[in-house]
Structure 1
Amino acid sequence: MRVGTVREIKDHEYRVGLTPESVRELTGHGHEVWVESGAGLGIGASDRDYEAAGATISPDAKAIFAQCELVVKVKEPQPGERAQLREGQVLFTYLHLAPDPEQTADLVRSGVTAIAYETVTGPGNALPLLKPMSQVAGRMSVQAGATALQKEHGGRGVLLGGVPGVMPGKVAVIGGGVVGFNAAQVAVGMGADVTILDRDPAALERLGTHFESRAKTRFSNRANLAASVAEADLVIGAVLVPGAAAPQLVTRDMLATMKPGAVLVDVAIDQGGCFETSHPTTHSNPTFIVEGIVHYCVANMPGAVARTSTYALNNVTLPHVLQIAERGWKGALQADPHLAAGLNVHAGHVTYEAVARELGYEFKPLAEVF
């Protein structure tokens, strides 16, 4: 199969769909790989590195979209990229369609077969292709929040770890999944006063056992959520409903109860955000202020640490890329129900139920696709 990867064009997105090592694996299995010139520069990989791995270097993305049967990316295709997708082509990348009706409409119109990293499953309802980026984003969220708390960025001027004789900052982490766990780890490591909220008693027990007295756990009902947000210097939104829009748990009214200059970091922004006042921002302009509260809502946080993120992502995506290249999309999905869960759009139909429900499309089940 001819497999291609292009240079990401989202604002300050430096990750790349395939590393030179992944290219070498694909070419070693007899597949042809095309890489857009400069695609790997953000991770320190030159065109020469890709050529040494067996890739053909394309001067631009146009030829890759026109000639490659499988296009492997990182972020959702931007409007100019979506215009180049075509029927019969397979797109394998993060999509986050539920809060993005324009992208969904374009993918449906193109006829492309679009498989989303974020809905590919694993044993025990895990999301193995989302997990490494959730780990990165969770850890980065506290770094970003700590920076936003600095006075020159509009924050309260609070050092999360405090100093002897001065209390540490208070961090509320909403959601105890992969993002929340990793955020709490970093916040605890910085010496902050950390509270993790979740609705799952098993998750709270697991978190309590892991952190012991270093972090507090709290059941996430309306009263506890409101109280935790009001007390916090930094709130991390780490809520996930797989494939669906995130619930907006922190309302605009809650902002009035918060300390002026407190910070909200919305890691759920890819899925629409879990704060009512959130809207996507970029690494170029990462924050905005509403009611005196600093909001950090960068939709591609892991892109800032592109090398770490790209290699972590390729570790989990490459086996699926190889299967699609070896068997074709249909054979690969029929052989692996976990990969099949990643199919979001196919031949003009929405094939992921949560997206169809959220955006008002008729849902086409996988049985009908096959």
Structure 2
Amino acid sequence: MTIGIPKEVKNNENRVGMTPAGVFELTKHGHIVYVQSNAGEGSGFFDSDYKKAGGLILDTIGQVYGISEMIVKVKEPMPEEYGLVQPDQIIFTYFHFASSEPLTKAMIESKATCIAYETVEDDDGTLPLLTPMSEVAGRMAIQQGAKYLEKPAKGRGVLLGGVPGVAPGKVLILGAGVVGVQAAKMAAGLGAQVTILDINMKRLRYINDVMPPHVITEFSNEFNIRKYIQNHDLIIGGVLLKGAKAPNLITRDMLKEMRPGTVIVDVAVDQGGCVETTRPTTHEDPIYIIDDVVHYSVANMPGAVPYTSTVALTNVTLPYVLKLANLGWANATDKDPALKKGLNIINGEIVYDGIIEAFQDSVFAYKS
């Protein structure tokens, strides 16, 4: 199979869909891999590295899309890429369709086969291709939150770890999944007081077992959320509904209950955000302020640490890329139930329930 690795075009997205090591494995299995020139430079991988691994370098993104049976990316196609996607082409990347009707419409019209990293799901309910980026984003959420709590960044002027004689900062984490656990680990390591809310008692029991005593758990409901947002300095949104839009757990009116300079980092922004006032931002312009509350909602947070993120992503995507390349998407998804759940759109038809529920009837007029 011919496989294309284009350069990402999303704002400040320095990750790339495949490392040279991944390209080496694909070429070893007899596949042809085309890499757009400088696609990996932001992650520390150069054209010469890909050439040594057996990759073929093409100058433009149009050439890569034009010659490839399968495109392997990191982020969803941007508007400037919509017209490059071809009928029957496999696009394997993070899509997060439920948060973008224009993207969904464009991929329906393209007649491509769209397989989303974020909905590939193992038998135990884990999301193997989302997990490493959730780990990165969860850890980064505390780094970024700590930075924007500083007064020059319009935060409350709180040091999360405190100092002797001064109480540590307080971190509220919504969601006890991968993002929540990694954020809690980082915040606890800094010495902050951490509260995690979730509706899954099994996860809360797990966190109670593995986290230090200054990480406490409570059941998530509106009463408890309203209680904690009044005195916590940093709020992390880490709620995920597989392939669907995230619920708004913090509404616009709740912002007035927070102290000025409170920071919200909404990691769920790719799925629409779990805060009503969330809107996607970029690494160039990462924050905005509403009712004196600082919002950080960069939609590609792991793109700020591209070497770590690209290696971590290739580690988990490569086995699936090999299956798709060796067997074709129909046979590969038939033989692998986890990969089958990654199918979101096939030849202009939505096949994933979460997307159908997110848009209901709004996009179906675009079907052929």
Q: 3-state SS of the aligned residue for 2:213?
A: helix
Does 1:60 find its partner at 2:39?
no
State the match for 2:282 in structure 1.
282
State the match for 1:368 in structure 2.
none
State the match for 2:38 in structure 1.
38
State the match for 2:179 in structure 1.
179
State the match for 2:216 in structure 1.
216
State the match for 1:357 in structure 2.
357
Give CA-to-partner distance per residue, 1:221-266, whole Å, 9 cap, x none.
1111111111110000000000000000001111111110010000
Distance 2:46 2:306 in 1: 14
The 5 A counterparts of 1:264-283 are 264-283=264-283
Alignment gaps of 5+ in structure 1: 365-370
State the match for 1:336 in structure 2.
336
CA displacement at 1:285 relative to structure 2: 0.3
State the match for 2:2 in structure 1.
2
Quickly say closer, same or farther: Cα 1:48–1:271, change in 2 above 3 A: same
The 5 A counterparts of 1:148-163 are 148-163=148-163
State the match for 1:291 in structure 2.
291
Give CA-to-partner distance per residue, 1:38-70, whole Å, 9 cap, x none.
001011111011000001100011011111000
Distance 1:138 1:328 in 2: 34
State the match for 1:108 in structure 2.
108
CA displacement at 1:362 relative to structure 2: 9.5
Q: 3-state SS of the aligned residue for 1:196?
A: strand
> What TM-score, normalized to structure 2?
0.98
Distance 1:286 1:78 in 2: 19
Give CA-to-partner distance per residue, 1:331-351, whole Å, 9 cap, x none.
101111110000001111111
CA displacement at 1:146 relative to structure 2: 0.4
Distance 1:115 1:79 in 2: 18
Question: Does the Cα contact within 8 Å between 1:353 and 1:363 map onto a contact in 2?
Answer: no
CA displacement at 1:359 relative to structure 2: 1.2
Which runs of 4 or more aligned residues in structure 1 lie more than 4 Å from their structure 2 counterparts after TM superposition? 361-364
Give CA-to-partner distance per residue, 1:141-185, whole Å, 9 cap, x none.
000000110111110100000011111100000000000000000
Question: Does the Cα contact within 8 Å between 2:105 and 2:363 map onto a contact in 1?
Answer: no
CA displacement at 1:363 relative to structure 2: 11
Alignment gaps of 5+ in structure 2: none
Give CA-to-partner distance per residue, 1:106-126, whole Å, 9 cap, x none.
000000000000000113011
Question: Does the Cα contact within 8 Å between 1:349 and 1:363 map onto a contact in 2?
Answer: no
Letter in 2 for 1:320: Y
Question: Does the Cα contact within 8 Å between 1:4 and 1:70 map onto a contact in 2?
Answer: yes
Letter in 2 for 1:287: I
Give CA-to-partner distance per residue, 1:172-201, whole Å, 9 cap, x none.
000000000000000000000100111111
Give CA-to-partner distance per residue, 1:96-139, whole Å, 9 cap, x none.
00010000000000000000000001130110000000000000
Distance 2:77 2:203 in 1: 34
The 5 A counterparts of 1:1-370 are 1-361=1-361
Distance 1:150 1:362 in 2: 42
Distance 1:198 1:363 in 2: 32
Question: Does the Cα contact within 8 Å between 1:177 and 1:238 map onto a contact in 2?
Answer: yes
Distance 1:240 1:357 in 2: 15
- Across the two proteins, how many residue pairs are aligned to each other? 364
Distance 2:348 2:307 in 1: 35
CA displacement at 1:360 relative to structure 2: 2.5
Distance 2:168 2:301 in 1: 25
Identity of matched residues, %:
50
Q: 3-state SS of the aligned residue for 2:97?
A: coil
Between stretches 260-269 and 217-226, larger displacement belongs to 217-226
Q: 3-state SS of the aligned residue for 1:256?
A: helix
Q: 3-state SS of the aligned residue for 2:247?
A: coil
Letter in 2 for 1:41: E
Distance 2:98 2:119 in 1: 12
CA displacement at 1:357 relative to structure 2: 1.7
Letter in 2 for 1:189: G
Letter in 2 for 1:123: D
Question: Does the Cα contact within 8 Å between 1:350 and 1:362 map onto a contact in 2?
Answer: no
Distance 1:67 1:213 in 2: 56
Kindly report the root-mean-square deviation, in angstroms, between the aligned alpha carbons of the 2 structures: 1.1
Question: Does the Cα contact within 8 Å between 1:349 and 1:362 map onto a contact in 2?
Answer: no
Distance 1:206 1:128 in 2: 20
Question: Does the Cα contact within 8 Å between 1:75 and 1:94 map onto a contact in 2?
Answer: yes
Distance 2:273 2:230 in 1: 19
